[in-house]
Structure 1
Amino acid sequence: MNFRPQNRDEPELNLIPMIDVLIVLMIFLVMTTTFSRETGLELRLPKAQAVPQEEVPKGVDVAVDAEGRFAVNGTPLQDNRLEALREAMKAAAGGQQDPLVIVRADRATQHQHVITVLEAAGQLGFGHIGFAAEAAPEGKP
């Protein structure tokens, strides 16, 4: 019987193939991951400083209430279609080529109704558009 230890080669742990596999896995994960960022707007609407009525030039005043009814220069429209609004704005402008259009929209008005006013003004070639706002109380920004 031979009880002497035999010289055996110790097994080597080859790390290079394992590192290669890990690098391939890491590249795969980076390439297939989608980075979606949920966007949200944090809006603080500004308060408007009051402008004296004498400084506001005369033009076309379009009011829109919360239900989406239009009034041009204080005259309510019976028809709330784009064509009727465009004709009323053209008549209110008189012969002016590019009058100031002041949009007075209720705070509960849907955005689509304001866009309708802007679209009618754009079709008529009116480029000077302003939005009326409520005056900020004194001492509050």
Structure 2
Amino acid sequence: MRIQDHRAFDEPEINLVPLIDVILVLIIFFVVTTTFDSRSVMKLQLPQASGEPAEPDQALSVLVNADGRYFVDDREVIRDDLDSLKTTVAEVAGDDRDRPVLLRADARTPHQAVVTAYDALGQLGFKRVMIATAPQQSGAAASGDGGGAAR
């Protein structure tokens, strides 16, 4: 009597379940250990001024980069015109017009872009608008203009 060996007929297969389990654990590990930071990803060179820094809680952040592009909190304004900026600010801020606004403009920003931002905020009814500045360096003395920084 001949005994048959069934091992010769088995097809080799790769079990992917342990691989999927390991990948899932790695994804969960990276998601949990990732730190979320609300700082701006854009590097700005703020104008310098003397005085105490004031960082209000829950302020609406309007950022103007060196090219004159606008960013409201984490949203980029698609076009550079006044109506687009007003629409984006209104969407992000909602109905709260008493909320303080912190305007962060690069020192190399065209003046018209900053004026447009002030105009949009004024037309929407924001009254508490502050401009962000960098602390004045101790080595750079004032040029004798006698002016201070408005905040």
TM-score range, shorter chain: 0.5 to 0.7
1:50 and 2:59 matched:
no
Q: Which whole-Å CA distance do the structure 1 matches of 2:115 and 2:67 have between them?
A: 14
Question: Identity of aligned pairs, percent?
Answer: 31
1:20-59, aligned counterparts within 5 Å? 46-51=49-54, 56-59=56-59
Q: Which whole-Å CA distance do the structure 1 matches of 2:136 and 2:116 have between them?
A: 27
CA positional deviation for 1:136: 4.0
Quote the RMSD (CA, aligned, Å).
2.2
CA positional deviation for 1:135: 3.0
Larger Rg: 1
Q: Which whole-Å CA distance do the structure 1 matches of 2:51 and 2:68 have between them?
A: 23
Give the aligned length.
94
- TM-score normalised per structure 2: 0.55
**Tell me, what secondary structure is at the counterpart of 2:83?**
helix
**Tell me, what secondary structure is at the counterpart of 2:61?**
strand
Q: Which whole-Å CA distance do the structure 2 matches of 1:91 and 1:60 have between them?
A: 12
**1:47 alignment partner AA:** S
Alignment partner, residue 111 of structure 1 = 111
1:3-18, aligned counterparts within 5 Å? none
Q: Which whole-Å CA distance do the structure 2 matches of 1:73 and 1:136 have between them?
A: 26
> 1:58-106, CA deviations, whole angstroms, 9 ceiling, x for partnerless residues?
1321100111000000221221111010011111112213221111000
CA positional deviation for 1:138: 7.4
In the alignment, structure 2 segments of 5+ residues that lack a partner are: 1-47, 142-151
Whether the 8 Å CA contact 1:66–1:108 is kept in 2: the answer is yes
Q: Which whole-Å CA distance do the structure 2 matches of 1:48 and 1:134 have between them?
A: 10
Q: Which whole-Å CA distance do the structure 1 matches of 2:133 and 2:104 have between them?
A: 7
**Tell me, what secondary structure is at the counterpart of 1:71?**
strand
In the alignment, structure 1 segments of 5+ residues that lack a partner are: 1-44
